[in-house]
Chain A
Amino acid sequence: MPDGARPVLDVRGLKTVFRTRGGDVHAVNDVSFSLQKGELLGVVGESGSGKSVTMMSLIGLLPSPPADVCGGTVMLGDTDLLTAPPEELRQIRGARIGFVFQDPMTSLNPVFNVGSQIMEPLREHMGMTKAQAEVRAVELLELVGIPDARRRLKSYPHQFSGGMRQRVMIAIALACDPDVLIADEPTTALDVTIQAQILELVKELRQKLGMAIIWITHDLGVIAGIADRVMVMYGGQVVEQGPVRAVFSAPQHPYTRALLRTIPKLHGPRDARLEAISGQPPILSAPPTSCPFRPRCPHAFDRCAAENPARRAIDGRAIGQGHDVACHWTAPAMQEVAHA
């Protein structure tokens, strides 16, 4: 491997199909990416592009049926999560991989106090006694910035605000010191000032704890602020991937370019209106044989209909290591995209 370091998480050729009554839905098609130790990978893409399904497939969180994770490998250290027995996978969830979900209002169990919900994984995975777990739970609440932590252990989720609940969710996800934290749109349901606070918190925690983070979002502004690398998804596949700076300064895929144009500019003259990407994301009933973005793409030509583009490196480094794109079209340098 060129960069030497072995990734904490290495996903190769992941495929997930929903076998529904109305037919198959190919939600994840041959997704590969890797995550280095301590790295923050931003994942963007509009609704339905397969971001959540990808991440949930990794750790067996999708209900099956209908979900069928039917291809690929997911290496966490030396373990392939896709072939690991369910019991082993369960012991990894919450211990080595933490998960934070989008909606903090519904993600906590309403009838148990937050203390017991934080202590659960500690007792399950770390074999702590009740007293030990309680001490650790107080620590965790303090870590995520909840004041008066000891007293708050006894509070129920409904007694917290949305932002505070998301902090509790983060505390739960971090409880067992995971190698990887997967945050699926953790700030989408929160208002802007709270979003900013949660972002600050995650930046700070990352410095302190050094875990790798996968951060799913719709908001490219957020990615620009915190991510090391960004992965753009469309139609269940990775269409562009690379270091944040490279992708933002020289976006290759027409979809990435369109996404970048939808960011409101903070500096310089304002556009009359935000540009929307016209058209609908596809729902794939069969594995794609043509480029899924083709119907909405301004640059599409005949090859796009004949062949689904494979990822190709554009900076000479191995795919997944540097900057790569899945597109037949060769993008000219782009001036109009400003840095967010």
Chain B
Amino acid sequence: MLTFILRRLMLAIPTLLLISLVIFLLVDFAPGSPMSEIPLTVPPEVRQKMMAAMGADKPVMVRYVLWLRQFFIVEPQYAIDALFGTDFAQGAQRIISWQSKVPVFQIIGERLPQTLTVVGTAYLIGILIALPIGIYSAYRQYSWFDIGGTFFSTVGFSVPTFFTGNILILIFAVKLGWFPTIYDTNLRITDWESLVKMLKQMALPVTVLALFNAAEISRYTRASVLENLGQDYVRTARAKGMPERVVLLKHVLRNSLIPVVTVIALGLPTVFGGAIVTEQIFKINGIGAALIGAIHVSDLPTVQTITFIFAVLIVAFNLIADILYGILDPRIRYD
């Protein structure tokens, strides 16, 4: 198992290098310049100097190598320094946002908690809703519960979040006024009142994302449970006189969860992508909003870094999914 993980980690390095190169080049070739926000009255020599100050005038490959060094060597050192109060980095040049001139990782550190609260809660709630629905739908296939559940998950899966989001805002925030339309990023939970406020502002975005996740996961769960219900070992368990509860929740579920857990692990990073849209709709100042903002002003280092972090998450969760698969299924051996 350990050798498997190590081997996969070694394999991940070239993969990530390739991804980083592709991302860097694609983002770099996109039209737009960091100077587009600078007034036209600024003379060209000054513009040139500004570009040089940011390092934006260097050839793309030079900037790529520099960025790589910063991402993989400098930034981890800063992270360690921040954690343990050491001084490994010794003031080395960090990845700096062209727009705000602060380190990109500082921006990420400020924005990520907003995203994680909403996305994380939504994913958790989504899973908690999806599993029972999927299991029961499969167990009572073609019942009214199953038909209803399948209908809602098909709708939830096929209607985009920006649509459900706006509908929910229209009904519950604008018409009924139950929830705020704008997410207050600066809200700190200090007492009961602020806690309620926090829950209220989280309610709509979390609902939108949770519904979407629940739709997908419940479909997988239903299909997986259904497939396993027809297996011979289920008949054996019944022939042994096991109660239905044990047959379903032990024998069938344990087998059905193997692919579902994989889907959940693989889906987690993609939720960040989906959250970008939700953050726009609900005006949540999270990592997705940071990315969109950076794209608008051609803040290449920020765009490249955040996009690459998404890629790292995908690779990491792929590995996690594989490891979980091996833990859950005794037939899989890693050697």
Chain A residues with CB under 8 Å of chain B are 59, 61, 90-95, 98-99, 101, 103, 106-113, 120-121, 124-125, 156, 158, 169, 172-173
Contact = CB atoms under 8 A, between A and B. Distances in A.
B335 interface: no
B240 A94 contact: yes
B232 A90 contact: no
A312 B236 CA distance: 37
B239 interface: yes
A111 B241 contact: no
Nearest to B243: A90
A25 B330 CA distance: 40
Contacts of B232: 101, 103, 106-107
A111 B329 contact: yes
Interface string B316-335: 00000000000011110000
Given A59-B239, A109-B254, A111-B329, 10 more contacts: A61-B238, A61-B239, A94-B241, A103-B232, A106-B233, A109-B236, A109-B255, A110-B331, A120-B242, A172-B236
B233 A61 contact: no
Given A110-B330, A111-B329, A101 B236 contact: yes
The 4 nearest A-B residue pairs measured at CB: A94-B241, A94-B240, A99-B239, A93-B241
Nearest to B251: A109
B255 A110 contact: yes
Interface string B109-123: 000000000000000
B75 to A, nearest CB: 41
B235 A101 contact: yes
B223 interface: no
Chain B, interface residues (CB within 8 Å), range = 20 to 34
B238 A172 contact: no
21 contacts: A93-B239, A94-B241, A101-B232, A101-B236, A101-B239, A106-B233, A108-B236, A109-B233, A109-B251, A109-B254, A110-B233, A110-B255, A110-B329, A111-B254, A111-B329, A112-B254, A121-B240, A124-B240, A124-B242, A158-B330, A169-B236
Given A110-B330, A111-B330, A156-B330, A95 B241 contact: yes
Interface SS majority for chain A:
mixed
B237 interface: yes
B182 to A, nearest CB: 48
A335 to B, nearest CB: 43
B231 interface: yes
B330 A120 contact: no
B230 to A, nearest CB: 9
Contacts of A172: 236, 240
A172 B243 CA distance: 16
Contacts of A112: 251, 254
A103 B237 CA distance: 14
Contacts, number: 76
B101 to A, nearest CB: 55
Nearest to A98: B239
A183 to B, nearest CB: 12
Contacts of B255: 109-111
Contact of B241 (A91, A106, A107, A108): A91
Contacts of B239: 59, 61, 93-94, 98-99, 101, 173
Nearest to A106: B232
Nearest to B332: A158
A93 B251 contact: no
Interface string B204-247: 00000000000000000000000000011101111111110010
Contacts of B254: 109, 111-112
Contacts of B236: 99, 101, 107-109, 169, 172
Contacts of A120: 237, 240, 242, 246
Contacts of A101: 232, 235-236, 239
A168 to B, nearest CB: 10
A158 B231 contact: no
B329 A93 contact: no
A106 B330 contact: no
A19 B179 CA distance: 52
Interface string B261-303: 0000000000000000000000000000000000000000000
Nearest to B328: A111
A109 B331 CA distance: 11
B111 to A, nearest CB: 41
Contacts of B243: 90, 124
B231 A106 contact: yes
Contact of A109 (B237, B241, B258, B328): B237
B318 to A, nearest CB: 22
Given A109-B251, A110-B255, A93 B238 contact: yes
A93 B240 contact: yes
Contacts of A108: 233, 236
A53 to B, nearest CB: 13
Contacts of A107: 232-233, 235-236
Given A109-B255, A111-B328, A124 B233 contact: no
A114 to B, nearest CB: 11
Nearest to B233: A109
A125 B241 contact: yes
A99 B330 CA distance: 26
- The residue among A59, A108, A109 with the most chain B CB atoms within 10 A of its own CB is A109
B331 A156 contact: yes
B330 to A, nearest CB: 4
Nearest to B240: A94
A111 to B, nearest CB: 5
Contacts of A59: 239
A111 B233 CA distance: 11
A173 B240 CA distance: 7
B331 A158 contact: yes
A63 to B, nearest CB: 9
A235 to B, nearest CB: 24
B289 to A, nearest CB: 43
A111 B246 CA distance: 14
Contacts of A91: 241
Contacts of B238: 61, 93
